[in-house]
Every structure is written in structure tokens, then in C-alpha cells.
Structure 1
């Protein structure tokens, strides 16, 4: 794990509750000016001092932890401004902006556990967060402030289904796992990756080019083909394109992709599904080595996942969300 994810933050609260340790969920609900974090960013703080997440490069985290411990001591949450316009004149953000943080006490972690259960089932869920606590909200509830609650959405984590062989597949799988992504690989049973990756990830051997393959995918899954022997794609690609995913892609030149599209049309794959398949994938053009190719592809996949999960919408709409509904500020004292 490179850094705590939203799920890691919720898991800390759940572990604390299991240990009999209360916690506070802190949520970034408003931005004035600029901020290094987006609306909806969260941090968890337990009564014993354990914490996960951040809102800056270390400028305000100590103050947030102290505030969270005071929330637990007083028994009620609050919304606090940090940075520009804050009552704390000794705490400033380097960007010069201001952020509003909602402190939600989580003495009863059942709602947190319910979210974790839904995400484990690959189902989205939302929480209505307030100064009194957290409660489940419908997955279709609009994000942001509604009356006295801030609705926060959670979606299943990114899953990568990688289909291919050789160093390109191995490099992408290694990099994705280092990033904290669940990787499911499909490779020819004689591929060295089958031995190398044993125990490190789920690798499903394919006995032949016509092997029946069931792709474990959903709306939060990316399916990437990494074959240089494109004969493997003839039977596998139509099945992959029929599976749900936010991203379908295959490596190769523009010429290779044109031949691939012709093959799919000849196989009777609907045009709408062919259009969903990306060729010449990745953010870095004309990569020639497995490591750079893996970085290029993973960057594009993560970028699209964040847009699919709503991250891009939150970032772009931060000012609009603040202007639409002001938070109920609970003063200290």
C-alpha cells in the first residue's frame, strides 16, 4: 500500500470499534480557493491516537487529531474551518486557501461495517455524515450537503483483469499490485508468469487459445489484453467485450488495432462493443519496454477509474458544491 485508501480509513474505524476504541471520521466538505485534497477526502482518528489519511502535506494533521480527540471527549461533532477564514490564526495552509472539515463521532461502527460489507460484495454505498454520527444513505443520494448531513459515496475498489503473457503482463501485474490494486491474471498455462506469480495474485491458466474463460468483472473493473501473439485474442476478446467493465483495452499498433477490429466484426461482435475497445493504450505514446508500458497503461486505467468513481466530478465541482449548500457550523466552546 502506497498510501491509505478510503477503504483503509473505514477499516481503521472498524478495527477500533472491534477493540473497544472509539473513533472520529473527518471529512473535507468545503474548499475556499485551492486545496491539495478534493472534496470528500477523509481521515480517521481513534481515541488511542491511531489515525489514517491526511488533508495536507503535514500542515494541519496534528491539529485535526487534537480536534478529533476533543470531539470524543465532548461527545459531539462539529465543522471547523482551517486556513483562510479560520479561528485558528496559527494554522495556515501553504496554498493560502481554506477548508471545512466535518468531525463525525463514530461510537457505533455498524454503519461503517455496513459500508465495508457492501464494498466487499462489489456494491456501492453511501453514508449520511453529521455532527451526531453516521447513517446509511441510498447509493443514488446526491453527494454533498443535504440539510444537516453530508452524503459521502463509496464505490468498490479498482480491479484489474490482465490477459496476456510474458514480461508485459508480469510488469503490469507487479506495478498494479504495488499500487494496491486487486489483480486477476489470465495467462497461457506454460507462461513463466504462472510460476513466478504463484501466491502473489490470482492467476488463471489457459490451456489453449479457445479455452473457456470467465472474466470476473463489473463496473469498477478494467480488462486489459497484453498479447503480442494476437491469435490468442480471436476467441478471448469477444468474451471480454461482453463482460461489464469501465475500461477495455489491448496493446498494439494502430495497424494491429485495425486488424483486430476487422476480426471482431467478422466474429459478429456488436459495433457498440467494438467501439468500447481501446487500441494503442496508455498515456505515454510509443513505449518500447515492459516497465514503461505498465506505467503508461496503469496511469490511464487509474485516471479513468477515478472519473468513473466520481473523483473527477468532486474535484471539478468543489466550489460549486460549497456554494450550493453551506454546512451547519457547530462552534467550539
Structure 2
């Protein structure tokens, strides 16, 4: 979930007058910690952001980036299996083809940041025999076409967590998700809880009544997370959320609470198919009692669902 950080780093460096390089994994052979489409940013002073291997090759990647910058020419370098760097081995035994693009101006980076902030899909095309890179608002699957000497990198918006509820788990989950630089919205009747989340942690809004559904909107990359102990609060809000685009909807509570929820949602006309898609009890492991563990369990389930989802036809 590093794309915004990488492009923001590059934008800041370029704006300050420093030269910079966009580094991208374009192909993977065998096993690898990071997949095609993973980015790093490197500035002319050797500072960088992002990780391609968990520490195995980053120093060599920075050195290659600075060489590409000095030559003002893009390059593609193999690391790991089959690499000329015979002293650098990836612990997984795989190989990475990494593209280094010296950035001539802020245009490409600015367009990427605009799309990320607007939560829109986009793709990049790298011509491997030149310094040419192009941006498209059309999403295209990540693909390396070695015979054509071209690579495509497709990016979908990252998950947005819309947390609706009250209690300590709301606070724990919002803070944990923000540590991953995810977009977080919190809707709660608890004014004190909302005040404890500063602007850097989440967008917040107080719910005046259980029927206060108007401010809740979503896109296909939204996860709805209901964390009410008082389940009477959630029914109208959940019924509304079920009609919004989303890739995940989960709710706290045991079997008795979920049985009540199912009955109430059916009475509001929600289909069995939509009800069956609710993750309840929420989380990867259901014995979570303390707020921090439940938050971790929930976020893990959300990220798992996000990576399983096919977003190729999704529109923001």
C-alpha cells in the first residue's frame, strides 16, 4: 500500500529541484516478496522510499538508479536468479526485472498522484528501449511483453475503510489502518471518540440517529466495517451500505446478534445473497476479545478480501 508515498516522495524531490528516478518491478521469475508493479522512488542524493525485496537488493537498486540518473537514460536490470549481480541472492531464489526511469519533469508523477487522490484506476506504459513512459486513465492489467520491449503497470485504488460504530475497536482499527496509509472514514454517534481521531487519522462524522444514512457513500474499493455493541444502531445503516458499491462488508457480534441482523435486513428487503456476503462474526479469527486484536483480525480480513477481488471492470 505504498503507491501514494512513493509518488509523493518523487513529487516533493522534483519540486525541490532534485532529480529523481521511478523504479518499478516489471517482471518476476519464481518466488518474490514483491510482485510486478511494485515501485520505489530514488532521489539524486541517494535517499529512497519503498522496498522491493525486504532489504536484500535495495542498496544495489539505489546504485543502479543513480547510474541511470547520471546517464539520463532508462534501463532494465535483472536482480536475483540470472543476474549479473552474482553476489546478490534473493532468499526466495527468484529473479526480478526492475525498470529505472529518470524523471525529466513532474508531469507523470503529478498525474499518478491526481488519480490516486481521486481514487481512480490508472496504468503506466514503459517503453524499455527509450526514456518514454506514458500515463493512461484506462486501467490495464500489469503485463510484461518482453518480445515487444514494453511493460504495462495497472493500479487500482487502495482500500478505503468506512468504519461505522462505537467503542474502543473503532479507534484501534482507524489508527492501524492509517499506519498503512489507507483512507479511513469513521461514522459514530460517539462524539468523544470522533474528537480523539485527529484529521490525520480519519475523516469523521457524527451520526445523529440510527437512520442517519445520507453522508455514507462508497466506491468499489470501499470496505464497510460495522462495530456496534448496540445492534439496533446498525440495521438502517447496514441496509443502506449494502446498496452502495463495496468489496467487503463485515459486522461485529456473535451468532445471536447475526440472527437478529439477518431477520431485520430481510424485513427491509435485502436479498439472501447480499446478506450471505456479510462477514460475521468479523475478522480472520473469531476469539478476539480485546480491541487491538479485533482490529488486527478485521484489517487482515479486509486486505485478504481486497486481494481476492477482481476489480478489472470497476469504475470510480
The TM-score normalised by the length of structure 2 is 0.89
CA 1:135–1:291: 2 relative to 1, 3 Å: same
Structure 2 distance, partners of 1:88, 1:210, is 62
Structure 2 distance, partners of 1:95, 1:274, is 41
- 1:117, distance to aligned residue in structure 2 (A): 0.6
1:103 is the counterpart of 2:100:
yes
Aligned to 2:188: 187
* Residue of 14, 24, 37 corresponding to 2:34: 37
Structure 1 distance, partners of 2:119, 2:28, is 30
Q: Deviations over 1:208-250 (max 9, x none)?
A: 2223432131111111111111111222111111111111111
Maintained 8 Å contact 2:26/2:153: no
Structure 1 distance, partners of 2:198, 2:16, is 34
The TM-score normalised by the length of structure 1 is 0.85
Aligned to 1:283: 284
SS at match of 1:279: coil
Maintained 8 Å contact 1:81/1:98: yes
* Higher RCO (Cα < 8 Å, 6 or more apart): 1
- 1:133, distance to aligned residue in structure 2 (A): 3.1
Aligned length: 306
SS at match of 2:234: helix
SS at match of 1:277: coil
CA 1:213–1:21: 2 relative to 1, 3 Å: same
- 1:107, distance to aligned residue in structure 2 (A): 1.2
Maintained 8 Å contact 1:242/1:273: no
Maintained 8 Å contact 1:160/1:224: yes
List gaps (5 residues or longer) in structure 1. 311-333
Maintained 8 Å contact 2:10/2:41: yes
The 10-residue stretch of structure 1 (130-139 or 256-265) with the greater mean CA deviation from structure 2: 130-139
List gaps (5 residues or longer) in structure 2. 312-316
Aligned-residue RMSD, C-alpha: 2.0
Structure 1 distance, partners of 2:276, 2:92, is 42
1:25 is the counterpart of 2:22:
yes
Structure 2 distance, partners of 1:140, 1:175, is 29
Aligned to 1:48: 45
- 1:297, distance to aligned residue in structure 2 (A): 0.5
Structure 1 distance, partners of 2:213, 2:63, is 56
Q: Deviations over 1:231-288 (max 9, x none)?
A: 1122211111111111111111123212211111111123443233221110012222
- 1:20, distance to aligned residue in structure 2 (A): 2.4
SS at match of 2:99: strand
